[in-house]
Amino acid sequence: MNRIVLVGTSHHIAPLDFRERMAFPELQLPEAFRSLKEDYGARETVILSTCNRVEIYATTSANGGSAAFSNFLATYHQLDPQQLHKFTYSHQDLNAILHLFKVTASLDSMVVGEPQILGQVKEAYDQSMSAGATGTILNRLFAKAISVGKRVRSETNIGSGAVSISYVAVELAKKIFPSLEDKTIAIIGAGEMSELTAQHLVENGASKVIVANRTYERAVKIAEKFNGVPLAYDSDLSFLVEADIVISSTNAPHYLIRRQSLAAIMKKRKHRYMFLIDIAVPRDIDPEVSKVDNAFLYNIDDLEAVIASNLEERQREAGLAAQIVEEEAAKFHSQLQVFEVNPLIKALHQQFQQVASKELSVCLNRAGLSPKQQKLVRSMTQSIIKKLLHQPTKNLRQVALNPDSAGAVNDISGDHVQYVQALQELFALENADDVETENSAES
């Protein structure tokens, strides 16, 4: 029998410097896979390594556990075992499956509902599979995990609503303008958040960027990133006549844009819509500006209120996602147990068939029966085999599906692994750990 084991760390329990030391660069993965298999008893392996988490998923023997893979991490990354124990976690079997499904559903992410993790899991799986590190169990597990992640995103709104300042700006802009194509962005100041917001707006269709900054060289540097127009900022706001979207983030001690001056600019614009984003503290734009016709002003508090509302909605959706994940994990775990006992059932049937075939050959050669009589005897023998093995087969599959209820089946032990091992020993069956690829754990 196989055991699924997970050992890992994440942003939930480990600081960045520890996660950096635990990371696996792509070029190191083949050697890590080799070592896990040859030195630490892993049968199959997937390594998920991102900026927020490093996790090793592996299959091992029924007697195997997480200690070997913790030792691998300590040795491979030259980490202090006590520090490793403090900043890592481990799960086995159903809990390992459940954790992976939560990860792919973005329930374990720093920002619940973020979409990147599903692609990162798929990439990690593809890398492991390409290196020959996976096998039947992890192939099935990761294919199902990716499927569950997609199901969560399609059946819940866990990924809806922007949860960063820059994305909220894009979301609001799309509500104000039918399309962002051919829209002009004016950046006042050259802060990182302004630049990131402009980048997302450009990615969503905005075509022209004007950068106004008191330090002209800084304006040039930012404008070059967008093939934009740099300006040396002064109190003349005439450049705003062209602007459909204004992003302001300076250290000015007073308002840079006031109601009266913007009203004059809007008149020159023939009152075409203008979206103003004030992410400066203290504010750059007079709140009275919002009273100018067709001027839509949002400050940092407004944007953060939208984020808080979106996060609250995601948390509500996370409850629905968690139900899907838990149901899918329990279902997959049960199916996997049946899948793993199928080779043992097949071996048991083959053994009975071989014994019966051998004895029938001897008997029929001596009995001098007609072909019709021989067919009848063979049919009766097959019927006896099926009836003899029906209840053991049924019990084995039932115990695999629901170990906790195994005691109700002729007082069988609740540990189906022990049951399997006993059956192997009683009938001297071959090791049934190598499962067949054509059987499905998801049917």
Catalytic residue positions, numbered: 51
Q: What DSSP string describes 219-239?
A: HHHHHHHTT-EEEE--S--GG
What's the burial of 438, exposed, middle or buried (CB within 10 Å: 0-12/13-18/19+)?
exposed
Q: What is residue 443's DSSP assignment?
A: -
User: Which helix (H) or strand (E) element contains residue 2?
Assistant: strand 2-10
Beta-strand (E) ranges in 279-327? Answer: 295-299
**CB contact set of 30 (below 8 Å; sequence gap of 6+):** 131
What's the burial of 240, exposed, middle or buried (CB within 10 Å: 0-12/13-18/19+)?
buried
**CA–CA separation, 247 vs 190, rounded Å?**
10
**CA–CA separation, 337 vs 332, rounded Å?**
9
Residues in the chain: 443
- Residues 356-381: b if buried by 16+ CB within 10 A, e if exposed: eeeeeeeeeeeeeeeeeeeeeeeeeb
**CA–CA separation, 246 vs 203, rounded Å?**
16
Is residue 95 within 8 A of residue 17, CB to CB? The reply is no
- Residues 6-35: b if buried by 16+ CB within 10 A, e if exposed: bbbbbeeebeeebbebbebeeeebeebbee
Task: Give which of 304, 303, 286 is closest to 295, Cα–Cα.
Answer: 286
**CA–CA separation, 111 vs 293, rounded Å?**
37
